[in-house]
Structure 1
Amino acid sequence: MKGFLAELKAGEIAEMVLLKPETSPEDLNSSSVMDEDVLEGFTKPRATRLGYEILKYPEDPVYPLVKGYSDVVSKHPPSQLPPDRGVRHEIDLVPGTTYCATRQWPLRREQCEVIDAFFAEKAKSGMVRESKSPHSTPTFCVRKPNGKWRLVHAYNKLNDATVPAQTPIPSKDVLLNNMSGCTLYSALDLVDGYYQILMRESDIPLTAVSTPSGMLWEWLVMP
Structure 2
Amino acid sequence: MVSTDDIFFIEPHKNDSYENLNSWPEPSLVSSVAGNLRIPNLTDEPLVLKRNEHFCNVRSTYSPDNIEIKSPDHAVATKSQLNKAQVLHSDLVRVDPDGLLQPCIKEKFKSLLRQYDNVFSPTFKGYNGAVGALEAKVNMGPVQPPQRKGRIPQYSKTQLVTLQEKFNELEDIGVFKKPEDIGVTVEYLNPSFLIKKPNGGFRLVTAFADVGRYSKPQPSLMPDVDSTLRQIAQWKHIVISDLTKSFYQIPLHGDSMKDCGVSTPFCGERVYVRSAMGMPGSETALEELTSRVLGHLVQEGVVAKIADDLYCGGNSPEELLTNWERVLQV
TM-score of the superposed pair, with normalisation by structure 1: 0.65
Correspondence list, 1:209-220, <5 A: 209-213=262-266, 215-220=268-273
Distance in 2 (alpha carbons) for counterparts of 1:198 and 1:66: 27
Confirm whether residue 113 of structure 1 aligns to residue 113 of structure 2. Answer: no
Distance in 2 (alpha carbons) for counterparts of 1:175 and 1:63: 27
Equivalent position amino acid for 2:109 in 1: V
Q: 1:72 aligns with which of 99, 119, 129?
A: 119
Confirm whether residue 83 of structure 1 aligns to residue 128 of structure 2. Answer: yes
- 3-state SS of paired residue (2:205): strand
Distance in 2 (alpha carbons) for counterparts of 1:216 and 1:124: 15
The change in CA–CA distance for 1:116 and 1:171 in structure 2 (over 3 A counts) is same
- Report the Cα offset of residue 198 of structure 1: 0.9
Match of 2:216 in 1: 163
Q: 2:99 aligns with which of 10, 28, 44?
A: 44
* Count of paired positions: 172
After superposition, give the CA deviation of every residue in 1:18-75 in whole Å (9 maximum; x if it has no partner).
Answer: xxxxxxxxxxxxxxxxxxxxxx945339xxx9xxxxxxx995232353244222123x
- 3-state SS of paired residue (2:170): helix
Root-mean-square deviation (CA, aligned residues, Å) is: 2.9
- 3-state SS of paired residue (1:217): strand
Q: Highest Rg: 1 or 2?
A: 1
Match of 1:63 in 2: 110
Equivalent position amino acid for 1:104 in 2: R
- Report the Cα offset of residue 184 of structure 1: 1.3
Conserved in 2, the CA contact under 8 Å of 1:77 and 1:192? Answer: no
Distance in 1 (alpha carbons) for counterparts of 2:274 and 2:164: 18
Higher relative contact order (Cα pairs below 8 Å, separated by 6+ residues): 1
Unaligned 5+ segments in structure 2 are 1-94, 180-184, 277-330
Correspondence list, 1:70-219, <5 A: 70-74=117-121, 76-78=122-124, 80=125, 82-85=127-130, 86-99=133-146, 101=148, 103-105=150-152, 106-131=154-179, 132-213=185-266, 215-219=268-272
The structure whose residues are more often strand, as a share, is 2
Which segment drifts farther, 206-215 or 191-200? Answer: 206-215
Q: Which runs of 4+ in 1 moved over 6 A?
A: none
Unaligned 5+ segments in structure 1 are 1-39, 50-56
Question: Percent identity between the aligned chains?
Answer: 19
- 3-state SS of paired residue (2:230): helix
The change in CA–CA distance for 1:60 and 1:162 in structure 2 (over 3 A counts) is farther
TM-score of the superposed pair, with normalisation by structure 2: 0.46
Distance in 1 (alpha carbons) for counterparts of 2:223 and 2:172: 37
